[in-house]
């Protein structure tokens, strides 16, 4: 690829690597006998969501109403929003969205259920609800199966809401508490006669354990591109990483320091548990030690070979999902070696 005419910083997605990642996730879900519901928060692209559906996914997951609106406008018919939607205005948007797509949301408290239930009734819409449960991630979610049953009953009592099941984002590397929670919940739901048709779990770091919790569907986001964190978690190799931010060396102010035009507005400030802000795969000893908004400060004191001023280098981000949210357009490196622009349709749809 000729990088000399690139307008950097710019993310470039190796299309063949991404396609292989999509196929791999689908293969894992098929092997486990469960539905694939990829999380589009990683790529935020209608085209890529449709490729995931064409590969066999049964629907998609979004994190915000804005993302879901973009995907529904593009004709995607089965969407889960894995987030508590709270407030009158958002509930109105949800009700409008539910009229044009098969929509499910997660909820972990009565206030959410009341507000969305009322909004659905007013708009004469209907909505599926998964009760979000917490099994160690210490984020949203009820912490006991008794609370899950109580909330499910509350959903069931609302005319325009349909209780569909449970949603969990299990802690990385430890699925045992999730397994136990779900086994316990199954018994309790059986006793009260409520059917838990969907058990939705997810997370790329837990893909090695796919199917082991008794889930019916899996939400993986990051696996579509992969990143430095996923390599660190041993669920991806450098060859599985589809997206790199291409950046130009704009200065070499000192022998041990060079400056990239990729700063926090291109790479994000997400350290993802590392000490540096991404890696340069072609200069592995170079260390991105500090970011300003448009400056990436690189310590090259350990490098045998140092990129020159004007050279375009690849940066593998620590965490790829927020990078997609920083660019209106990225480039796809197609199998014929050509670059084509791709609009990031749901970029900035944070609400």
Ligand X SMILES: Cc1ncc(COP(=O)(O)O)c(C=O)c1O
Q: Which residues bind ligand X (CB under 6 A)?
A: 39, 42, 82, 169, 202-205, 219-223
> By C-beta, is 164 or 219 nearer to ligand X?
219
Cβ 197 to ligand X shortest distance, Å: 19
Cβ 254 to ligand X shortest distance, Å: 38
Cβ 151 to ligand X shortest distance, Å: 17
> By C-beta, is 181 or 283 nearer to ligand X?
181
Would you mind telling me the total number of residues written for the chain in this entry? 351
> By C-beta, is 8 or 222 nearer to ligand X?
222
> By C-beta, is 128 or 221 nearer to ligand X?
221
Cβ 205 to ligand X shortest distance, Å: 6
Cβ 202 to ligand X shortest distance, Å: 4
> By C-beta, is 207 or 333 nearer to ligand X?
207
> By C-beta, is 160 or 324 nearer to ligand X?
324
Cβ 218 to ligand X shortest distance, Å: 9
Cβ 159 to ligand X shortest distance, Å: 27
- Residue 13 and residue 332 in contact, taking contact as beta carbons nearer than 8 Å: yes
- In the bound complex, which residue of the shown chain has the CB atom lying closest to ligand X? 221
> By C-beta, is 133 or 280 nearer to ligand X?
133
């Amino acid at each position: 690829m000729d990088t000399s005419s690139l307008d950097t910083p710019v993310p470039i997605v190796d299309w063949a690597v991404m396609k292989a990642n999509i196929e791999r996730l689908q293969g894992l879900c098929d092997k486990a006998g469960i539905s694939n519901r990829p999380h589009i928060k990683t790529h935020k692209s209608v085209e890529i969501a449709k490729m995931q559906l064409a590969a066999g996914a049964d629907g998609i997951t979004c994190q915000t109403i804005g993302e879901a609106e973009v995907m529904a406008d593009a004709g995607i018919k089965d969407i889960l929003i894995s987030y508590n939607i709270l407030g009158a205005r958002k509930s109105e948007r949800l009700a409008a969205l539910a009229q044009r797509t098969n929509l499910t949301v997660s909820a972990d408290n009565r206030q959410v259920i009341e507000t969305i239930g009322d909004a659905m009734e007013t708009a004469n819409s209907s909505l599926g609800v998964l009760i979000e449960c917490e099994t160690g991630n210490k984020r949203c979610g009820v912490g006991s199966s008794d609370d899950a049953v109580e909330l499910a009953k509350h959903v069931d009592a609302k005319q325009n809401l349909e209780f569909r099941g449970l949603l969990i984002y299990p802690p990385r590397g430890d699925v045992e508490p999730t397994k136990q929670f779900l086994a316990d919940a199954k018994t309790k739901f059986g006793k009260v006669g409520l059917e838990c048709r969907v058990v939705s779990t997810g997370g790329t770091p837990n893909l090695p354990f796919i199917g082991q919790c008794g889930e019916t569907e899996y939400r993986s986001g990051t696996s579509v591109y992969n990143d430095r964190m996923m390599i660190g978690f041993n669920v991806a190799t450098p060859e599985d990483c589809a997206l790199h931010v291409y950046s130009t060396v704009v200065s070499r102010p000192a022998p041990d320091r060079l400056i990239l035009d990729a700063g926090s507005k291109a790479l994000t400030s997400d350290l993802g548990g590392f000490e540096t802000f991404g890696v340069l795969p072609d200069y592995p000893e170079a260390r991105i030690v500090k970011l300003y908004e448009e400056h990436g400060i690189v310590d090259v004191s350990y490098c045998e070979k140092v990129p020159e001023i004007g050279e375009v280098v690849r940066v593998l981000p620590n965490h790829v999902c927020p990078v997609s949210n920083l660019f209106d357009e990225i480039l796809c490196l197609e199998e014929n070696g050509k670059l084509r622009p791709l609009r990031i349709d749901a970029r900035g749809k944070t609400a």
